[in-house]
Amino acid sequence: MARPAACLFDLDGLLLDTEPLHGQAWQQAARAFGLELDGTRLLELRGRRRMDCAEQVQQWLAEAALVVPTTAALLAVRQPIAERLLPAARPIPGAPELLARCQALGIPMALVTSSSRQAVAVKTAGHPWLAGISERVFGDDADLKAGKPAPDPFRLAARRLHLPAEHCWAFEDSLAGARSALAAGCRVHVLLPDSQKLADRMVAALPAGCLLVKELGGIDLSTDD
């Protein structure tokens, strides 16, 4: 095909540089209960819904024979930290330009995020360039049965655009998101982190079939190459 039928975009770490901030919030929350989260574990949390991340942290606490807090207690520590940090997130370089190219070419867009509707409102308040994405699938979407890495979020976005997922290009930055989009049948582009160490970990763990992207500005939407 000459160009994608639609572009399906993740938000955190793909359009907005929020992942380091999310990582800080989860690190501090886990540390409050005696657990240190290293880079590998933070990579596992990327792209997943808040409740799924909380469940994962609780599992790690249990494996470390530490006291496992309730989900409410864990999030009571994590949420104020995240809410303080996230409004300062900046656009990922090339992201506003990529969305502008989609609009110029008349390519439909959808946001496919694990964040809740309320969290997205907080993070995007200072970024009017994101308003061009009118179709949105949130982590707490009433029509969503399972979050990433399940294929449901991308299938739901494609269905709302009245398009086959196989004709859509998905843009992700996380393992969970890449697995989700690939399972949905999308053509998957994965933005690699700037850190070579993290990029190497990402590449080693990504499923076959993903296209690696070092920066968003160079993506050609008019060709399948």
Average pLDDT of the residues of the chain: 92
183 shares its domain with 206: yes
Given a cut of 50, whether residue 190 has pLDDT beyond it is yes
56 shares its domain with 125: no
Write down the pLDDT at residue 225: 44
> Total domain count for the chain?
2
The arithmetic mean of pLDDT across residues 63-92, rounded, is 93
Residue 1 lies in a domain: no
Residues 6+ apart with CB under 8 A from 3: 105, 107, 221, 222, 223
121 shares its domain with 11: yes
145 shares its domain with 162: yes
140 shares its domain with 181: yes
The arithmetic mean of pLDDT across residues 44-72, rounded, is 93
Given a cut of 90, whether residue 6 has pLDDT beyond it is yes
Residue among 124, 217, 107 nearest 169 (CA) = 107
109 shares its domain with 71: no
Residue 121 to residues 46, 77, 118, 141, 206: CA-CA distances in angstroms?
Answer: 19, 21, 5, 14, 30
Q: Which of 63, 88, 113 is the last residue of a domain?
A: 88
Write down the pLDDT at residue 2: 62
CA distance 15 to 96: 8
Per-residue pLDDT tens for 99-152? 999 999 999 999 999 999 998 998 898 899 999 998 999 999 999 999 999 999
Q: Which of 88, 109, 127 is the last residue of a domain?
A: 88
Given a cut of 90, whether residue 39 has pLDDT beyond it is no
Q: Which of 35, 68, 88 is the last residue of a domain?
A: 88
Write down the pLDDT at residue 30: 96
178 shares its domain with 95: yes
Write down the pLDDT at residue 148: 94
Contact between 29 and 78 under an 8 Å Cβ cutoff? The reply is yes
| Range of the structural domain that residue 60 is part of | 19-88
Contact between 160 and 110 under an 8 Å Cβ cutoff? The reply is yes
CATH classification at residue 208: 3.40.50.1000
